[in-house]
Amino acid sequence: MERSELEDRVAALEERVRTLEDQAAVLRLVASWGPAVDTGGPDGAAAAGALWADDGVLQSDISRLEGPAAITEMVLSDGQEALIRQGSAHVQALPVVTVEGDHATATNYSRVYRLAGDGHEIWRVSANVWELRRTSAGWRVTRRTNHLIDGGPEARELLQRAYR
Amino acid sequence: MERSELEDRVAALEERVRTLEDQAAVLRLVASWGPAVDTGGPDGAAAAGALWADDGVLQSDISRLEGPAAITEMVLSDGQEALIRQGSAHVQALPVVTVEGDHATATNYSRVYRLAGDGHEIWRVSANVWELRRTSAGWRVTRRTNHLIDGGPEARELLQRAYR
Amino acid sequence: MERSELEDRVAALEERVRTLEDQAAVLRLVASWGPAVDTGGPDGAAAAGALWADDGVLQSDISRLEGPAAITEMVLSDGQEALIRQGSAHVQALPVVTVEGDHATATNYSRVYRLAGDGHEIWRVSANVWELRRTSAGWRVTRRTNHLIDGGPEARELLQRAYR
């Protein structure tokens, strides 16, 4: 075998392994959101904000937040604090992840549960598109768009990102 | 180090990376099913069918569909369209994936939620075994067997595939 | 290129691929728990116990089990058998996995569903920290701590492991 052929194979492997690592990093980021917002307090709120890029946006059918500080503030709000004390679980389902260079998207379902009486009820089942960018500090969310699954076109348009 | 030893290590890495990529592809395929059937229309229906091999079967306790065209037709049916307009979410849980050469299986739970009144209700919690084959166009489902978790032996037999 | 440089790159790849394989093995182990306890019988009970290290502990707010034999016994108990016959699904959500050498942690949400009347109800939504150790037989659980999401500090402390 030529020396250069083996070098080419190693370079190809490095590229493939980097993509697998990127996919794993995106899964980890998406799975980290719930624990951060469901624990709250200064640490949880800071961890939730830190998932976002400086210009990152969290857009849902019920609110729009711009930048890590706004997200941290939301987690520290009275409303969120009350939800945490009630017993909340923001659970992300397995996403369809696509990595392209320094950009990635993850499309998935999410559910928010809250304790009500002696059991948990489902508060929201939503569709999500997470758009992410590789930064010098790792992957960060540039935009998460979230919409209640309500039979309307908005949630369906988000879900289409999984296969288009 | 002998030249051949390094070549052997590179060849072993190529095999291991291929298995990791196969596992990721199977996760992606399983996670794509819900978004396709919950968006529907010509694109969603085609995307749902395209996950199946030409001879692929979707067998559940409530229906049996053979081949991509039958699956596409099901997604376009009045019943499925009504479910989509009501607000449905077919959510796949993290599967146990086993890849062996050009074949793979994924065993998991799934839930179907639908909007009812002012919140989502759980319509079905099921057990699934996805059997897949590597084709020239990528991984495709050769058989998905789905059964309601109803305390009977059928669902339990499916779940046993996760550890047998 | 120096021979040694290529060797270094291959060695680095081997390390990275091993970490990816470890992460996949942890996901697989976590996803295997539900199928084992929801099928039960001698095989399911043995499979559930076999996920634990000899000194492994399953600690929850409702019970404490020490070692594989105690876990196997729990799965074979009348209470668990009744739950299985009723129709149960122990579903693990996507965890945040951290691998450090021969130790790993996985932090996630879990839900237990059971059939009630003509549909499934959510029995428990919990927080989990899975602590694992690499053994000669593969990854095994040394401790799983599980607590109902009830608004109290115990579940929140578990979830904090996802981002601390």
pLDDT tens column, A58-93? 999 999 999 999 999 999 999 999 999 999 999 999
ipTM for this prediction: 0.96
Helix axes A3-39, A41-49, angle to 10 degrees: 140
Q: Are B77 and B31 in contact (CB under 8 A)?
A: no
> Cβ separation of B34 and A109 shorter than 8 Å?
yes
Residues in CB range of A108: below 8 A, 6 or more apart: A30, A92, A93, A94, A95, A96, A127, A128, A130, B31
Q: What is the pLDDT of residue A118?
A: 84
Nearest-CA distance C40 → chain B (Å): 8
> Cβ separation of B122 and C115 shorter than 8 Å?
no
Whether the predicted pLDDT of B74 surpasses 70: yes
Question: CB-CB: which of C20, C85, C119 is closest to B151?
Answer: C85
Question: CB-CB: which of A13, A97, A124 is closest to B13?
Answer: A13
Integer-rounded Cα Rg, in Å, for chain B is 18
CB proximity under 8 Å: C 42-101 to B: 43-44, 47, 84-89, 91-94
Chain A residues closer than 8 Å to C123 by CB: 119
pLDDT tens-digit series, residues A7-24: 999 999 999 999 999 999
The reply to whether A116 touches chain B by the CB within 8 Å rule is no
Q: What is the pTM of this model?
A: 0.97
pLDDT tens-digit series, residues C65-123: 999 999 999 999 999 999 999 999 999 999 999 999 999 999 999 999 999 988 999 99
Q: What is the pLDDT of residue A2?
A: 61
Chain B residues closer than 8 Å to A162 by CB: 31-32, 34-36
Q: Mind giving me the DSSP string for C1-68?
A: --HHHHHHHHHHHHHHHHHHHHHHHHHHHHHHHHHHHHH-HHHHHHHHHHTEEEEEEEEESS-EEESH
> Distance between CA C83 and CA C76 in Å, rounded?
11
Question: CB-CB: which of B7, B39, B84 is closest to A160?
Answer: B39
Q: Tell me which residue of C86, A16, C82 sits closest to B25, measured CA to CA.
A: A16
> Cβ separation of A123 and B119 shorter than 8 Å?
yes
Whether the predicted pLDDT of C2 surpasses 70: no
> Distance between CA A45 and CA B102 in Å, rounded?
45
Q: Tell me which residue of A81, A115, A47, B35 sits closest to C96, measured CA to CA.
A: A47
C-interface mutation test, from A5, A14, A32, A39, most C Cβ less than 10 A away? A39
Chain C residues closer than 8 Å to A34 by CB: 109, 159, 162
Nearest-CA distance A69 → chain B (Å): 31
The reply to whether C110 touches chain B by the CB within 8 Å rule is no
Q: What is the pLDDT of residue A94?
A: 98
> Distance between CA A36 and CA A28 in Å, rounded?
12
User: What is the average pLDDT value for chain C, to the nearest integer?
Assistant: 97
Chain B residues closer than 8 Å to C139 by CB: none
